[in-house]
Amino acid sequence: MKHLITGGCGFLGMVIAESLLSKGIQVVSLDVWEAPDQLPDVEFVLGSVLDRDLMRRLMKDVEVVHHTAALVPLTKQNDKFNEVNVDGSRIVAEEAARAGVKYFVHTSSSAIFGKPACPAGNGTPLKPVEKYGLSKLQGERAVEEVAKQHHMPLIIVRPRTLIGTGRLGIFQILFEWIKEGRNIYVLGDGTNKIQFLHADDLIDCYMFLCQQEKPGFYNVGTDRFGTLEETLTALVQHAGTNTKVKHLPKRLAIETLQTLDKVGLSPLAPWHYLTYGEDFYFDLKPLTALGWKPKYSNVEMLCENYDQFIANYSVFKDKQDGSPHRKRVKEKLLWVLKQLS
């Protein structure tokens, strides 16, 4: 069995590759850069999902496509979101359909919901609040159109914020502040409920859906989560530092972060600061009714990721290469807040 992963050197792509290899599956990985820690048994191809001829060649003998390639919010490449997240997704889907793949797994985003009433489900209106979320919604629709036209079995997964081994990005800032005993912040009273998802649980979920032959749209997250303040407090207690969870006025904080973002002084993208203070969790009944259950809780996955960050801190503290979720993020003006914390 042969699987193709687009965005194979990204955080999720690397985890998928490792999982597939452990099952004896042949893996082809496509990305625009090659990770120095690429797994030796992966057939790596340097290239872009926008290269239709390349995508056509790569589909030979592929049974399952894992389409994870995307420009993520941290890149802040608003003008290119549609090019990669919409046009690239359409090209990959079209060439997969042409090749007659057995399953196409498209990794979408919870950003397509914007700020939904929770628990969000398949009947929840899709109202993105920023350009990244809009591009991911349009990418979903492009892939769905191709799948319907060619009768290609399609699984679309909309994961909550992913946590797992090697995940850095904005979590590097959180973990580093906790390590140093700096205070960390919530917007408002911290009683909003936020659901996360372990990368291993995401992979287990859609491999389960492939095995059960259950194409469709699936919103995926953990089934054990609480308020944001409860989650962060548990992480701080696990870390054993002097960090305290502090509160910022929600409206003032969002307006300040918007201004800093516009002038290039904040590492956070609109998706982060517009939803950080809101409830965001999925209704998992459609998945649990099929017999799938996540292994990790919010606290368990964050504590595991924090421990891994600390154990590899000498590497992570200066890691400048990699995809946006696998390298350091510059704190920019948040550094000032850090010094006051």
Instruction: Provide the whole-model pTM.
Output: 0.89
The predicted structure's pLDDT at residue 188: 94
Mean pLDDT of the chain: 89
Q: Distances from the Cα of 268 to the Cαs of 34, 184, 255, in angstroms?
A: 26, 15, 13
Long-range CB contacts for residues 338-341, cutoff 8 Å, separation at least 24: 338/177, 338/182, 341/177, 341/182, 341/183, 341/184, 341/246
The predicted structure's pLDDT at residue 341: 59
Of the given ranges (64-78, 190-204, 317-331), which has the lowest mean pLDDT? Answer: 317-331
Tens of pLDDT along 138-154? 999 999 999 999 999 99
> Does residue 338 have a pLDDT over 70?
no
The predicted structure's pLDDT at residue 334: 58
The predicted structure's pLDDT at residue 322: 43
What residues contact residue 94 under an 8 Å CB cut-off, 6+ apart? 52, 146
DSSP state of 73: G
What's the rounded mean pLDDT across residues 96-117?
96
The predicted structure's pLDDT at residue 172: 83
- Which listed CATH number (3.90.25, 1.10.3470, 2.40.50, 1.10.10) goes with 168-194+224-279+299-340? 3.90.25
The predicted structure's pLDDT at residue 207: 87
- Which residues make beta-bridge pairs with 158? 219
Burial 272-288 (b: 16+ CB within 10 A, else e): bbbbbbbbbbbbbebbe
Q: Would you tell me the crossing angle of helices 170-179 and 228-239 to the nearest 10 degrees?
A: 50
What stretches of the chain show up as alpha helix (H) in DSSP? 11-22, 52-58, 81-82, 89-99, 131-150, 170-179, 199-211, 228-239, 250-262, 270-275, 285-288, 298-311, 313-316, 334-340
Of the given ranges (33-42, 213-222, 261-270), which has the lowest mean pLDDT? Answer: 261-270
Name the segment(s) of the chain with CATH classification 3.40.50.720. 2-162+195-220
What's the rounded mean pLDDT across residues 124-139?
95
**Is 1.10.10.10 the CATH classification of the domain at 2-162+195-220?**
no
- On the question of a cis peptide bond just before residue 119, with omega within 30 degrees of 0, the verdict is yes
> Does residue 213 have a pLDDT over 90?
no
The predicted structure's pLDDT at residue 325: 40
Q: Distances from the Cα of 88 to the Cαs of 61, 102, 128, 185, 231, in angstroms?
A: 21, 20, 20, 37, 36
> Does residue 240 have a pLDDT over 90?
yes
The predicted structure's pLDDT at residue 323: 41
- Per-residue 3-state assignment (H helix, E strand, C coil) for 165-181: CCCCCHHHHHHHHHHCC
Name the segment(s) of the chain with CATH classification 3.90.25. 168-194+224-279+299-340
pLDDT band at residue 256 using 50, 70 and 90 as cut-offs: confident
> Does residue 320 have a pLDDT over 60?
no
What's the rounded mean pLDDT across residues 182-202?
94
> Does residue 314 have a pLDDT over 80?
no
Residues 188, 254: contact at Cβ < 8 Å?
Answer: no
> Does residue 321 have a pLDDT over 50?
no
Question: ∠ CA 60-65-69 to the nearest 5 degrees?
Answer: 115
> Does residue 275 have a pLDDT over 60?
yes
Of the given ranges (53-62, 78-87, 168-177), which has the lowest mean pLDDT? Answer: 168-177
